[in-house]
Amino acid sequence: MIRGKVTIAEEICKGCELCITACPQESLGLSDKINLKGYRYAVLIQDNCTGCINCALVCPDAAITVYRQKKPVKGVGPQVQIAA
């Protein structure tokens, strides 16, 4: 399985839950804590994200950044450079 990660800007998130609905892996849920605006924000609740970006696509507040595990390339060492 391809592994993914998401980071969610918790102070930007308004807890609308659309990302939770959009996630095919049910990886996301709402936090127990609230942010400065008073919203419970989206967090990863399961370590099964595939980096499909669906959550980021439906996020109305552009709060989600998505990463995906790199496919190993023969003869090339670990890459740290990431193109913007």
Compute the Cα dihedral for 54, 12, 70, 29 and give only its sign.
negative
Cβ atoms of 51 and 5 closer than 8 Å: yes
Q: Which of 12, 30, 43, 45 binds another protein (CB under 8 A)?
A: 12
Nearest residue (CB) to another protein, 46 versus 57? 57
Tell which positions 45-74 bind another protein, by CB under 8 A. Answer: 51-54, 56-70
Applying CB under 8 A, does 43 fall inside the site for another protein?
Answer: no
Q: Would you give the DSSP letter of residue 63?
A: -
Q: Which two tokens stand for residue 38?
A: 């008073």
β-bridge pairing 40-44 and 4-8: unpaired
Q: Which of 5, 30, 43, 45 binds another protein (CB under 8 A)?
A: 5
- Per CB under 8 A, residues contacting another protein are 3-5, 7, 11-12, 14-18, 21-22, 39, 51-54, 56-70, 78-80, 82-84
